[in-house]
Amino acid sequence: MFSNELSLFLIATFTSTLAGICAMGGGMILVLVLPFFVPVTAIIPIHGITQFASNSSRLALCFSHVHWPFVGQFIVGAIVGTLLFSVFLVNISSQFLPLFISVYLLITLWFKPIEIAFSRFESFYIVGAIQAGLGLLVGAPGPITVTLLYKKLTDKEQIIATASLLMGITNLNKVLVYSVIGFQFFEYWQLILAAVIGATIGSILGTYLRDKIPNQHFMNLLKLILTGLASYTTIVTILKISI
């Protein structure tokens, strides 16, 4: 039993460190490995509480850099998205959602004319609704928030701080919704404690390592990782659908 806690602690430390360096990526990795530790029904709520610890601890280290104009819009969207998706939580098929999100990311990152056309409709109201709503179903619905921040901001500290706050809101939302519908977090308290401690340590490590990366190198690395994650998600989802 103890080996499970230690393994999850190490994984949470690694994923949170990655998120601390690049603003995202850790949550997507974590949601892929959680099935090895908990039943399917526990993946999303435990992912939510672990990522909340990761994002909130990271936010505490860079709070002064938050770009506040986006926050209110995101919260309004998140409330609407939560209400809409909560109604259909047990009835919506999420089979195709990762594919839609990953293709959207690839198009907006690399095809400038389409990106310009899409940008007319992009807003933090919409991103908040999608991130909060789909987060209830697929855990880590792709780095859509970070992608929009990448386009709107040019400073890595602002991107990290604002992403930490917005994704922290999303993950707190997951915890609250699953608590309301009756998920028993206490049944997994040992695994959760190990993951939360690991996520907090990872935030500290990620912040230290991020300070060593020049801003332009950070932006290039972020685009590369966004592309890699979107490509991976696209391929895996297509393979699952075709089987």
Domain range annotation of the chain: 2-242
pLDDT along the chain (243 residues), means of 10: 86 89 77 82 88 92 92 93 75 61 71 64 84 74 76 87 91 88 90 95 91 76 76 78 69
User: Residue 196 and residue 190: Cα distance in Å, rounded?
Assistant: 10
CA atoms within 13 A on the CB side of 122: 19
Structure-block tokens of residue 64: 């002064």
Per-residue pLDDT tens digits for 188-233: 999 999 999 999 999 999 888 888 888 777 767 767 877 887 787 7
The residue behind tokens 């991103």 is 127
- pTM comes to 0.78
pLDDT at 238: 82
Structure-block tokens of residue 126: 């919409």
The dihedral through the CA atoms of 74, 201, 231, 43 has a sign that is: negative
pLDDT at 26: 79
**Residue of 24, 72, 7, 6 lying closest to 206 (CA atoms):** 24
**CA-CA distances (angstroms) from residue 212 to 64, 99, 198, 202?**
19, 34, 22, 16
| H-state helical runs in the chain | 2-22, 26-33, 40-62, 69-87, 97-110, 112-119, 124-138, 144-152, 156-180, 189-210, 215-242
User: Residue 173 and residue 46: Cα distance in Å, rounded?
Assistant: 12
Per-residue pLDDT tens digits for 4-17: 899 999 999 988 99
